[in-house]
Amino acid sequence: AQSVAQPEDQVNVAEGNPLTVKCTYSVSGNPYLFWYVQYPNRGLQFLLKYITGDNLVKGSYGFEAEFNKSQTSFHLKKPSALVSDSALYFCAVRDDDYKLSFGAGTTVTVRA
């Protein structure tokens, strides 16, 4: 089965600083990787996906992610974090039967 791991429960950054949320994956075959964000009392919102093509994927709200095959990583990045980016972030991988397998989530806190 495919899986992802998010090694950090929490990430804290100051507003204006770069933000990185880490994700590593374990798959057989080509990975289909995703990032979702969950704001308080809201559903899971899609940020971006990697299916194939360029290793640098750009998504919503200024986020991007870099697919690194040699390191089996798909880290989420934002060059300059905003307080409004504070949320719970989930990495996910498409499983063999087309359902999503999620990581445990990383809580991002951006302080003013």
Residues in contact with other proteins by the rule CB under 8 A:
32, 34, 36, 41-46, 49, 51, 90, 92, 94-95, 97-105
Is the CB of residue 59 less than 8 Å from the CB of residue 48?
yes
Q: How far is the CB of 94 from other proteins (least distance, A)?
A: 4
Among residues 86 and 102, whose Cβ is nearest to other proteins?
102
Least separation in angstroms between residue 17's CB and other proteins is 27
Q: For residue 52, what is the DSSP state?
A: S
CA dist., res. 37 & res. 16, Å (int): 19
Q: CB-wise, 28 or 98, nearer to other proteins?
A: 98
